[in-house]
Protein backbone atom coordinates (compact mmCIF):
# COMPACT_ATOMS: atom_id res chain seq x y z
CA UNK A 1 0.00 0.00 0.00
CA UNK A 2 1.38 3.40 -0.97
CA UNK A 3 1.83 6.32 1.38
CA UNK A 4 -0.99 8.20 -0.34
CA UNK A 5 -3.43 5.27 0.10
CA UNK A 6 -2.48 4.92 3.76
CA UNK A 7 -3.04 8.65 4.30
CA UNK A 8 -6.48 8.39 2.71
CA UNK A 9 -7.38 5.43 4.96
CA UNK A 10 -6.30 7.35 8.04
CA UNK A 11 -8.37 10.34 6.94
CA UNK A 12 -11.42 8.14 6.35
CA UNK A 13 -11.05 6.47 9.74
CA UNK A 14 -10.66 9.86 11.40
CA UNK A 15 -13.88 11.18 9.85
CA UNK A 16 -15.77 8.01 10.68
CA UNK A 17 -14.66 7.99 14.32
CA UNK A 18 -15.52 11.66 14.61
CA UNK A 19 -19.08 10.82 13.52
CA UNK A 20 -19.40 7.76 15.79
CA UNK A 21 -17.83 9.28 18.90
CA UNK A 22 -18.70 12.92 18.44
CA UNK A 23 -22.13 12.96 16.83
CA UNK A 24 -24.21 9.76 16.71
CA UNK A 25 -22.97 6.96 18.96
CA UNK A 26 -26.59 5.86 19.39
CA UNK A 27 -26.78 5.03 15.70
CA UNK A 28 -24.25 2.27 16.39
CA UNK A 29 -25.83 1.03 19.61
CA UNK A 30 -23.27 2.81 21.79
CA UNK A 31 -24.00 4.74 24.98
CA UNK A 32 -21.09 6.86 26.26
CA UNK A 33 -20.45 7.59 29.92
CA UNK A 34 -21.23 11.00 31.38
CA UNK A 35 -17.79 12.11 30.18
CA UNK A 36 -18.51 10.91 26.66
CA UNK A 37 -16.22 7.89 26.97
CA UNK A 38 -16.79 4.51 25.33
CA UNK A 39 -14.80 1.33 26.03
CA UNK A 40 -12.42 0.79 23.12
CA UNK A 41 -13.47 -2.85 22.91
CA UNK A 42 -17.11 -1.85 22.37
CA UNK A 43 -16.12 0.72 19.76
CA UNK A 44 -14.15 -1.87 17.79
CA UNK A 45 -17.06 -4.32 17.98
CA UNK A 46 -19.39 -1.65 16.58
CA UNK A 47 -16.93 -0.75 13.81
CA UNK A 48 -16.54 -4.39 12.78
CA UNK A 49 -20.31 -4.60 12.28
CA UNK A 50 -20.11 -1.89 9.63
CA UNK A 51 -19.33 -2.84 6.05
CA UNK A 52 -15.83 -1.82 5.08
CA UNK A 53 -14.55 -1.37 8.63
CA UNK A 54 -14.00 -4.95 9.74
CA UNK A 55 -10.23 -4.58 9.34
CA UNK A 56 -9.82 -1.84 11.97
CA UNK A 57 -7.75 -2.82 15.00
CA UNK A 58 -6.46 -0.92 18.01
CA UNK A 59 -3.14 -0.47 16.21
CA UNK A 60 -4.91 1.61 13.53
CA UNK A 61 -6.49 3.82 16.17
CA UNK A 62 -3.15 4.22 17.95
CA UNK A 63 -1.60 5.31 14.66
CA UNK A 64 -4.44 7.77 14.14
CA UNK A 65 -3.95 9.28 17.59
CA UNK A 66 -0.27 9.89 16.91
CA UNK A 67 -1.09 11.94 13.84
CA UNK A 68 -4.30 13.31 12.36
CA UNK A 69 -6.48 12.51 15.39
CA UNK A 70 -4.13 13.78 18.08
CA UNK A 71 -6.30 16.78 18.95
CA UNK A 72 -9.64 15.11 18.16
CA UNK A 73 -9.77 12.03 20.41
CA UNK A 74 -8.54 10.93 23.79
CA UNK A 75 -7.66 7.33 24.63
CA UNK A 76 -7.32 6.69 28.36
CA UNK A 77 -7.41 3.43 30.34
CA UNK A 78 -9.11 1.45 27.59
CA UNK A 79 -11.77 4.06 26.84
CA UNK A 80 -11.96 6.59 24.04
CA UNK A 81 -13.83 9.88 23.63
CA UNK A 82 -14.17 12.62 21.06
CA UNK A 83 -12.86 15.89 22.48
CA UNK A 84 -15.58 17.79 20.64
CA UNK A 85 -19.04 16.30 21.05
CA UNK A 86 -22.30 17.32 19.39
CA UNK A 87 -24.85 15.23 21.28
CA UNK A 88 -26.73 15.64 24.54
CA UNK A 89 -26.96 13.22 27.42
CA UNK A 90 -29.99 11.05 28.25
CA UNK A 91 -33.31 12.87 28.70
CA UNK A 92 -36.27 11.44 30.61
CA UNK A 93 -39.16 10.49 28.34
CA UNK A 94 -42.80 11.21 29.09
CA UNK A 95 -45.10 8.22 29.21
CA UNK A 96 -47.13 9.34 26.20
CA UNK A 97 -43.93 9.59 24.13
CA UNK A 98 -42.83 6.03 24.79
CA UNK A 99 -43.35 3.23 22.28
CA UNK A 100 -45.61 0.51 23.65
CA UNK A 101 -42.95 -2.10 23.02
CA UNK A 102 -39.16 -1.94 23.34
CA UNK A 103 -36.47 -4.57 22.91
CA UNK A 104 -33.38 -5.35 24.95
CA UNK A 105 -30.93 -8.27 24.74
CA UNK A 106 -29.75 -10.65 27.46
CA UNK A 107 -27.39 -13.59 27.44
CA UNK A 108 -29.18 -16.85 26.75
CA UNK A 109 -28.00 -18.40 30.02
CA UNK A 110 -29.45 -15.43 31.97
CA UNK A 111 -32.84 -15.59 30.27
CA UNK A 112 -34.66 -17.82 32.82
CA UNK A 113 -33.49 -15.75 35.80
CA UNK A 114 -34.34 -12.43 34.13
CA UNK A 115 -37.85 -13.58 33.23
CA UNK A 116 -38.41 -14.62 36.85
CA UNK A 117 -36.75 -11.74 38.70
CA UNK A 118 -36.45 -8.86 36.23
CA UNK A 119 -33.35 -7.02 35.11
CA UNK A 120 -31.11 -4.56 36.94
CA UNK A 121 -28.32 -2.58 35.28
CA UNK A 122 -24.77 -2.93 36.56
CA UNK A 123 -23.46 -0.04 38.63
CA UNK A 124 -22.71 2.96 36.43
CA UNK A 125 -24.42 1.34 33.43
CA UNK A 126 -27.79 1.46 31.70
CA UNK A 127 -30.10 -1.19 30.35
CA UNK A 128 -30.09 -0.26 26.67
CA UNK A 129 -33.36 -0.67 24.79
CA UNK A 130 -34.37 -0.04 21.22
CA UNK A 131 -37.56 0.21 19.25
CA UNK A 132 -35.85 -2.03 16.69
CA UNK A 133 -35.46 -5.75 17.32
CA UNK A 134 -32.59 -5.76 14.83
CA UNK A 135 -30.64 -3.14 16.76
CA UNK A 136 -31.25 -4.94 20.07
CA UNK A 137 -29.96 -8.17 18.54
CA UNK A 138 -26.92 -6.35 17.17
CA UNK A 139 -26.10 -4.97 20.62
CA UNK A 140 -26.66 -8.37 22.22
CA UNK A 141 -24.28 -10.17 19.88
CA UNK A 142 -21.41 -8.16 21.34
CA UNK A 143 -21.77 -10.18 24.55
CA UNK A 144 -23.35 -13.43 23.39
CA UNK A 145 -23.23 -15.07 19.94
CA UNK A 146 -26.89 -16.07 20.32
CA UNK A 147 -28.59 -13.52 22.60
CA UNK A 148 -32.24 -13.55 23.62
CA UNK A 149 -34.06 -10.36 22.64
CA UNK A 150 -36.65 -9.54 25.29
CA UNK A 151 -39.89 -7.76 24.50
CA UNK A 152 -40.52 -5.07 27.10
CA UNK A 153 -43.94 -3.57 27.68
CA UNK A 154 -43.38 0.06 28.62
CA UNK A 155 -46.82 0.45 30.25
CA UNK A 156 -46.29 -2.25 32.92
CA UNK A 157 -42.74 -0.98 33.40
CA UNK A 158 -43.96 2.56 34.03
CA UNK A 159 -46.67 1.19 36.33
CA UNK A 160 -43.85 -0.42 38.30
CA UNK A 161 -42.16 2.95 38.70
CA UNK A 162 -39.50 2.67 36.00
CA UNK A 163 -38.41 5.98 34.44
CA UNK A 164 -37.24 5.76 30.83
CA UNK A 165 -34.65 8.01 29.22
CA UNK A 166 -33.95 8.62 25.56
CA UNK A 167 -30.52 8.88 24.00
CA UNK A 168 -30.87 9.54 20.31
CA UNK A 169 -32.65 6.51 18.88
CA UNK A 170 -32.05 4.43 21.99
CA UNK A 171 -33.91 4.18 25.29
CA UNK A 172 -32.34 3.64 28.69
CA UNK A 173 -33.55 2.30 32.04
CA UNK A 174 -31.91 1.46 35.35
CA UNK A 175 -34.09 -1.59 36.01
CA UNK A 176 -36.99 -3.54 34.54
CA UNK A 177 -39.48 -5.53 36.65
CA UNK A 178 -40.36 -9.07 35.65
CA UNK A 179 -43.94 -7.94 35.00
CA UNK A 180 -42.75 -5.78 32.10
CA UNK A 181 -41.16 -8.70 30.23
CA UNK A 182 -43.71 -9.85 27.69
CA UNK A 183 -41.59 -12.47 25.99
CA UNK A 184 -40.19 -14.64 24.70
CA UNK A 185 -41.02 -17.52 26.99
CA UNK A 186 -38.17 -19.57 28.39
CA UNK A 187 -37.61 -22.72 26.41
CA UNK A 188 -37.60 -25.93 28.42
CA UNK A 189 -34.03 -26.78 27.46
CA UNK A 190 -32.87 -23.35 28.69
CA UNK A 191 -34.30 -24.04 32.15
CA UNK A 192 -32.23 -27.17 32.58
CA UNK A 193 -28.66 -26.89 33.78
CA UNK A 194 -26.21 -29.50 32.58
CA UNK A 195 -25.31 -32.05 35.21
CA UNK A 196 -28.11 -31.09 37.59
CA UNK A 197 -31.52 -32.59 38.25
CA UNK A 198 -34.38 -30.10 38.75
CA UNK A 199 -35.30 -30.06 42.43
CA UNK A 200 -39.04 -29.71 41.84
CA UNK A 201 -39.39 -32.61 39.44
CA UNK A 202 -39.05 -36.34 40.08
CA UNK A 203 -35.61 -37.74 39.64
CA UNK A 204 -35.31 -39.76 36.45
CA UNK A 205 -35.32 -43.50 37.05
CA UNK A 206 -32.22 -45.31 35.96
CA UNK A 207 -32.81 -47.86 33.26
CA UNK A 208 -32.28 -51.35 34.68
CA UNK A 209 -29.11 -52.83 33.33
CA UNK A 210 -29.22 -55.99 31.28
CA UNK A 211 -26.08 -57.09 33.11
CA UNK A 212 -25.70 -57.65 36.84
CA UNK A 213 -22.50 -58.81 38.51
CA UNK A 214 -22.20 -62.58 38.46
CA UNK A 215 -25.06 -63.14 36.02
CA UNK A 216 -22.88 -63.81 33.01
CA UNK A 217 -20.84 -67.03 32.93
CA UNK A 218 -18.17 -67.63 30.37
CA UNK A 219 -18.83 -71.15 29.15
CA UNK A 220 -16.55 -72.76 26.56
CA UNK A 221 -19.05 -72.22 23.77
CA UNK A 222 -19.31 -68.49 24.69
CA UNK A 223 -15.56 -67.97 24.91
CA UNK A 224 -14.48 -65.88 21.87
CA UNK A 225 -10.98 -67.34 22.06
CA UNK A 226 -11.11 -70.79 23.45
CA UNK A 227 -7.56 -71.52 22.35
CA UNK A 228 -6.26 -68.58 24.38
CA UNK A 229 -8.00 -69.79 27.54
CA UNK A 230 -6.04 -73.08 27.74
CA UNK A 231 -2.82 -72.20 25.99
CA UNK A 232 0.20 -72.61 28.26
CA UNK A 233 -1.85 -74.12 31.06
CA UNK A 234 -1.35 -77.66 32.41
CA UNK A 235 -4.38 -79.81 33.23
CA UNK A 236 -5.71 -79.80 36.73
CA UNK A 237 -3.94 -82.35 39.02
CA UNK A 238 -0.73 -82.56 36.99
CA UNK A 239 1.42 -81.89 40.05
CA UNK A 240 -0.08 -84.83 41.94
CA UNK A 241 0.45 -87.15 38.97
CA UNK A 242 4.07 -86.01 38.60
CA UNK A 243 4.80 -86.70 42.25
CA UNK A 244 3.25 -90.17 41.96
CA UNK A 245 5.45 -90.94 38.94
CA UNK A 246 8.57 -89.78 40.80
CA UNK A 247 7.76 -91.91 43.83
CA UNK A 248 7.12 -94.89 41.58
CA UNK A 249 10.42 -94.29 39.81
CA UNK A 250 12.31 -94.10 43.09
CA UNK A 251 10.91 -97.46 44.08
CA UNK A 252 11.96 -98.85 40.68
CA UNK A 253 15.53 -97.74 41.37
Of 49 and 252, the structure prediction assigns the larger pLDDT to 49
Per-residue pLDDT of 163-181, as tens digits, reads 999 999 999 999 999 999 9
Residue 193 scores a pLDDT above 70: no
Residue 182 scores a pLDDT above 50: yes
Residues of the chain with CATH 1.10.10.970: 3-82
Greatest C-alpha distance within the chain: 125
> pTM, whole model, 2 decimals?
0.72
Q: Residue 204's pLDDT band (boundaries 50, 70, 90)?
A: very low
Q: What pLDDT is recorded for position 103?
A: 99
Residue 19 scores a pLDDT above 50: yes
Mean pLDDT computed over 195-202:
41
What value does the mean pLDDT of the chain take?
Answer: 82
pLDDT over 70, % of the chain: 71
Q: Residue 135's pLDDT band (boundaries 50, 70, 90)?
A: very high
Identify whether the C-beta of residue 13 lies closer than 8 Å to the C-beta of residue 60.
Answer: yes
Residue among 7, 50, 167 at smallest CA distance from 17: 50
Secondary structure (3-state) at 109? helix
**Cα distances (Å, whole numbers) of residue 207 to 31, 192, 204, 210, 211:** 54, 21, 9, 9, 11
Q: What pLDDT is recorded for position 200?
A: 41
Q: What pLDDT is recorded for position 9?
A: 87
Residue 5 scores a pLDDT above 70: no
Determine whether 39 is exposed, middle or buried from the number of CB atoms within 10 Å of its CB (0-12, 13-18, 19+): middle
Q: What pLDDT is recorded for position 220?
A: 47
Element housing 120 (H / E): strand 119-120
Residue 7 scores a pLDDT above 90: no
Q: Residue 239's pLDDT band (boundaries 50, 70, 90)?
A: low
Mean pLDDT computed over 243-251:
55
What gap in Å lies between CA 60 and CA 135, rounded to an integer?
26
> Which architecture characterizes domain 91-191 according to CATH?
Alpha-Beta Barrel (3.20)
Q: What pLDDT is recorded for position 251?
A: 47
Residue 234 scores a pLDDT above 80: no
Q: What pLDDT is recorded for position 68?
A: 86
Residues of the chain with CATH 3.20.170.30: 91-191
CATH topology for the 3-82 domain: Arc Repressor Mutant, subunit A (1.10.10)
Rounded (5°) CA angle 52-83-9? 25
Q: What pLDDT is recorded for position 250?
A: 47
Q: What pLDDT is recorded for position 202?
A: 45
Amino acid sequence: MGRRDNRMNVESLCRFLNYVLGRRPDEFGLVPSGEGRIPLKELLQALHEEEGWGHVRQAHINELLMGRGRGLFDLTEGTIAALERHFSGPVEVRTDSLPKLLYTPVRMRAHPVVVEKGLVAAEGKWIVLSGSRTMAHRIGRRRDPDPVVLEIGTAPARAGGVPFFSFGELFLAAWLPAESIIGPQVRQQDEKRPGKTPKDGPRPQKRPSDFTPGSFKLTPERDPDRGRSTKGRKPKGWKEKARARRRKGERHE
